């Protein structure tokens, strides 16, 4: 905060700190007491909140954000960096931030997250930022120009139509398994579905936010019945498994495809 230019005297500032209105983050630098905790920690470390820590604040999907990511300008003395910053970023920024801002630009945060995360998670982060319209397709040129060459190959897998991070992760698993994938396809009497694989398998990515409660369950089951009437199979995978047990998703997709190729002999052999 540029308090002196706003007419604050040293006495005013000292009183505001005593009364808990302002927080002194370091010598000569103050923030409102209600400011984001991570931004305060970054400022206290003489840096700016960056990477997945910055993106999480604005609702962008990131796989993990339990460590504090802070960007430091070149020349910052490492002795001045406190232990509160778990992950340090030193690469020069693509966008020059305002001198008093406590976060990096979203363009830089996405570029940093591409380097920091596993490839699939990085793609999901980009998809999420596109879906939220925090970046657009034109920004991808700048973002991928600022990442290492080995990460630039990820751009071919970006698709901003994905409506959630788990949806992107399932799409990438399906592509790895050799499925043809359609996103956000519309069916009369059903509405949009997350993914359609090989034209016959509908995959829905479920989370507690949108699929909890009996009414939501009834809606989903009726959609499944309508899809079955069209000759389509449907598979629901939960976000927890997508994020933390992807091997279960892989096994389910392989299993249902192999059963279809065999003509579902298990079902034919009963009775």
- Could you tell me if residue 10 is inside a domain? no
Q: How far apart are the first and last CA of the chain?
A: 76
Contact 158, 126 (CB under 8 A): yes
Asked if the structure places residue 6 within a domain, the reply is no
Q: Judge whether residue 233 has pLDDT over 80.
A: yes
Q: Residue 269 has what pLDDT?
A: 44
Residue 3 covered by a domain: no
Give pLDDT, residue 173.
98
Q: Residue 271 pLDDT > 50, yes or no?
A: no
Same domain membership, residue 238 and residue 177? yes
Q: What is the pLDDT of residue 259?
A: 93
**Do both 61 and 133 map to the same domain?**
yes
- Is 261's pLDDT higher than 50? yes
140 and 187 share one domain: no
Do 180 and 256 reside in the same domain of the chain? yes
Same domain, 203 and 214: yes
Half-sphere exposure of 49 (CA within 13 A, CB side): 21
Give the pLDDT confidence of 87-123 residue by residue, as tens digits.
889 899 999 888 778 899 999 999 999 999 999 999 9
Q: Are residues 178 and 125 in the same domain?
A: no
Of residues 107 and 20, the one with the higher pLDDT is 107
232 vs 203: CA distance, rounded Å: 10
* pTM: predicted TM-score of the whole model, two decimal places: 0.84
**Which residues does 182 contact at the CB level (< 8 Å), separation at least 6?**
195, 196, 197, 199
Same domain membership, residue 156 and residue 166 = no
Q: How many domains does the chain have?
A: 2
Residue 101 belongs to domain spanning? 46-160
Whether 100 and 176 map to the same domain: the answer is no
Q: What whole-number percentage of the chain has pLDDT above 70?
A: 87
One DSSP character per residue, 222-258 reads HHHHHHHHTT-EEEEEEHHHHHH-HHHHHHHHHHHHH
At residue 256, φ and ψ (nearest 5 deg) are -70, -30
pLDDT single digits (tens) 57-75: 999 999 987 889 999 987 6
168 and 132, same structural domain? no
Both 70 and 133 in a single domain? yes
Tell me what pLDDT residue 64 has.
Answer: 84
Distances (CA, A) of 120 to 140, 150, 166, 202: 17, 14, 10, 21
168-177, 180-189, 204-213, 226-235: least confident range:
204-213
* Percent of the chain scoring above 90 in pLDDT: 61
Q: What is the DSSP string of 115-132?
A: HHS-HHHHHHHHHHHHHT
What is the residue-averaged pLDDT of the chain?
86
Q: Which of these three, 141, 160, 179, is where a domain ends?
A: 160
Q: According to the model, what pLDDT value does residue 270 have?
A: 44
| Short-list 73, 83, 17, CA closest to 46 | 73
CA distances from 246 to 57, 65, 101, 127, 148 (A): 26, 19, 38, 19, 27
Residue predicted with more confidence, 11 or 75? 11
Work out the average pLDDT over 236-241.
Answer: 93
In a domain, 95, yes or no: yes
Query: Which CATH number fits the domain that encloses residue 209?
Result: 3.40.960.10
- Which position has the higher pLDDT, 128 or 1? 128
Cβ(44)–Cβ(82) below 8 Å: yes
As given in the structure block, the two tokens for residue 206 are 């479920």
84, two tokens: 């509160």
Say which residue, 193 or 266, is predicted with more confidence.
Answer: 193
Q: Are residues 143 and 181 in the same domain?
A: no
How does pLDDT run across 109-158, given as a tens digit for each residue?
Answer: 999 999 999 999 999 999 999 999 999 999 999 999 999 999 999 999 99
pLDDT of residue 170: 97
Is the domain of 146 the same as that of 248?
no
Angle value at C-alpha 234, between 233 and 238, nearest 5 degrees: 155
Mean pLDDT of 44-53: 90
């Amino acid at each position: 905060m540029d308090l002196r230019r706003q007419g604050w005297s040293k006495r005013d500032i000292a009183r505001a700190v005593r009364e808990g209105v302002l927080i002194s983050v370091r010598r000569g630098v103050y923030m409102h007491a209600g400011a984001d905790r991570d931004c305060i920690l970054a400022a206290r470390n003489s840096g700016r909140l960056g990477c997945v820590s910055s993106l999480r604040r604005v609702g962008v999907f990131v796989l993990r954000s339990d460590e504090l990511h802070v960007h430091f300008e070149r020349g910052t003395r490492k002795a001045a960096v406190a232990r509160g910053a778990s992950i340090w970023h030193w690469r020069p920024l693509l966008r020059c931030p305002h001198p008093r801002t406590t976060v990096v630009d979203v363009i830089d945060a996405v570029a940093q997250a591409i380097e920091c995360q596993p490839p699939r998670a990085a793609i999901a982060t980009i998809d999420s930022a596109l879906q939220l319209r925090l970046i657009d397709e034109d920004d991808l040129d700048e973002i991928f120009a600022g990442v290492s060459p080995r990460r630039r190959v990820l751009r071919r897998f970006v698709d901003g139509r994905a409506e959630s991070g788990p949806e992107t992760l399932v799409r990438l698993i399906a592509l790895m398994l050799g499925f043809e994938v359609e996103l956000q396809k519309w069916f009369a009497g059903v509405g949009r579905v997350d993914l359609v694989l090989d034209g016959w398998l509908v995959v829905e990515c479920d989370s507690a936010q949108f699929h909890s409660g009996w009414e939501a369950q009834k809606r989903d089951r009726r959609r499944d019945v309508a899809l079955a009437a069209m000759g389509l199979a449907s598979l629901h995978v939960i976000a927890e498994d997508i994020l933390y047990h992807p091997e279960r998703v892989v096994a389910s997709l392989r299993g249902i495809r192999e059963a279809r190729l065999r003509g579902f002999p298990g079902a034919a052999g009963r009775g």
